[in-house]
Amino acid sequence: MKTQMSRISKLCMSAAGLLVIVALTLWHFYAREMPRNTEILAPLKTASADCFDQAGAYQGIDASVLRAMTDPTAASDSAKRNRNGTLNVGRMGINSVNFHELAEQGVKPGQLLDACKNEYVGAWYLKKKIAKYGNTWTAVGAYYSETPAIRDQRASKIYEIWRQNDVRKKSV
């Protein structure tokens, strides 16, 4: 009976240990992948500086790509309804399907109307796509849609804007 209890105890301890290791591994992955609470907006000091440069530097993304991704028809404090009923908010077109995840990170939809905060959130979201697709134009296209045809069309459009306008040297 004692040896059976010993085996059960070891089994429970090894299973519990394995669960702890899995939980810590997942926490470590998601903690790096998705900053918690205000970490998305943490380095934001002032809207007077170039937020594209700040947001790009914070997420390790080329700010010229972020500039090329802005919607030239959108005001920084606007929301535009899509044909599918969702909203795109601000110049980075943060889609309302992301509101729940952003709320979990401490970002409220109303904060996206601030141009600089919108750019930080856009950089964070692009960083997530880069983590999935690599530092490629596919990741840029996936920012808008993961449907291959739409993704590739958007990636091509953003690439052309980036290339033609030489946005690396211009400020929006």
Q: Counting Cβ atoms within 10 Å, is residue 56 exposed (0-12), middle (13-18) or buried (19+)?
A: buried
pLDDT reported for residue 1: 56
pLDDT(57) > 60: yes
The answer to whether residues 49 and 128 belong to one domain is yes
Question: What is the number of residues in the chain?
Answer: 172
The answer to whether residues 132 and 152 belong to one domain is yes
What pLDDT band is residue 27 in, cutting at 50, 70 and 90?
very low
Residues 124/40, Cβ–Cβ less than 8 Å: yes
The answer to whether residues 136 and 156 belong to one domain is yes
Which residue segment(s) compose the domain that 104 sits in?
36-165
Percent pLDDT > 90 in the chain is 59
- The tally of domains found in the chain comes to 2
The answer to whether residues 40 and 109 belong to one domain is yes
The answer to whether residues 66 and 102 belong to one domain is yes
pLDDT reported for residue 121: 96
pLDDT(119) > 80: yes
pLDDT reported for residue 164: 86
**Count of CB atoms within 10 A of residue 88's CB?**
19
Distance separating alpha carbons of residues 127 and 134, to the nearest angstrom: 9
CATH number at residue 62: 1.10.530.10
Taking the chain, what is the end-to-end CA distance rounded to the nearest angstrom? Answer: 75
pLDDT(23) > 70: no
The answer to whether residues 56 and 10 belong to one domain is no
Q: Is residue 20 part of a domain?
A: yes
